[in-house]
A and B are shown apart, each in its own frame.
Chain A
Amino acid sequence: MENWLMLTLVGKDRPGIVAKISHALFEMKGNLGEASMTRLGGNFTIMLMVCIPESKTVVQEKLQNICDELELFFHLDAIEAGLHQHIEPDVRISIHGADQAGIVASATDALNKAGLNILNLESDVGGSSESPVYIMHIEGIAGKGFDAVEQALQALSRKKDVVARMTPIDTMVG
């Protein structure tokens, strides 16, 4: 049976993190699967699926040395996983406006009630430190249809004074 682990890693951003971590996994004959690696507010973050013959304890020990050296925190979880299980989103949502407390909570709560299953969410704070702007992009599946999502976004837009839009995603296969 395939042994999949999810590696979660975070630390102050510096050059070489990805190269050193992926090299260490490669040396243990690890096969990388899907991953999300990104810089968030000066930190570098990794969520990475790896299929590896070594036990979690062995992987833990080897990564510990590298992570100590690079001052990174990490965590490993045994997961039930596999590849080739992509789900297609059917709607894209953009929300932006003046940054305010609770915007993600209200938005995602409204969207959850409207039947949206979130597959991907990315958010950023832009603008200046005096007037920060919050920008959020979501891709997901509208489980209760587009109208429900549209109505939820209109209500959110009025209540929180943000711009909230949705566009159906119509994937072209050819």
Chain B
Amino acid sequence: MALLNILVYPDARLTKISRPVKEFSEDLRKFVRDLEEIFRSFPGCVGIAAPQVGRFERIILVDISDKPKHVNHGFLILINPEITFCEGSSLGREGCLSVPDYTGKVERAKSITLKALNQKGEKLEFQMSGYEARAVQHEIDHLDGKLFLDRLVSRRNALSKRVEIPAKP
């Protein structure tokens, strides 16, 4: 079948908040197959979220196994994903299928605990950190209508990393 289309910024639909999946039907599985097909058509891309193709449901795919340097859980199909715990922070460079020709530095939690459901509606839980945790946080942002552009750290600030101490009242 024809590949789905990727919504590209500044398409306002990218700011929509996606709703949780309620039915774990054949329709869901078919959509996941279509989503995987378009995801695989972008070499180097490590994640995709359903709203990026105009389906506003909480479904993401993540697969960083092509980056053998990074510890990973293989190909993940995550329905209604939720970060239940996060720790630390790390600065890294991100790009997005929905934002062509631009990459920038983004701060993310270093380690996360992730809960989600699989295609059958069964519970999953993962501990992840680094690159994989970054990919998951980027994709979950799409479900909440956020892009990495909303979290950019400016070049110079990212470099000097000054600690700002709030003034005492």
Chain A residues closer than 8 Å to B103, beta-carbon distance:
86, 88, 171, 173
When the two chains form their complex, are residues A170 and B94 in contact, meaning their CB atoms are under 8 A apart?
no
Q: How many residues in B have their beta carbons less than 8 Å from beta carbons of A?
A: 30
CB neighbors of B among A103-156 (8 A): 120, 122, 124, 135, 137
| Interface flag for B97 (CB, 8 Å) | yes
When the two chains form their complex, are residues B160 and A172 in contact, meaning their CB atoms are under 8 A apart?
no
Report the interface size class on chain A.
10 to 19
Task: Decide yes or no: A172 and B131 within 8 Å by CB, A84-B101, A86-B101, A88-B103 being known contacts.
Answer: yes
Chain B residues closer than 8 Å to A122, beta-carbon distance:
155-156, 159
Chain A residues closer than 8 Å to B70, beta-carbon distance:
170
Say which residue of B69, B94, B102 sits within 8 Å of A174 (CB atoms). B94
Chain B residues closer than 8 Å to A174, beta-carbon distance:
45-49, 62, 94-97, 135, 138-139
| Interface flag for B58 (CB, 8 Å) | no
| Interface flag for A79 (CB, 8 Å) | no
Which residues of A come within 8 Å of B, CB atoms? 38, 84, 86, 88, 120, 122, 124, 135, 137, 169-174
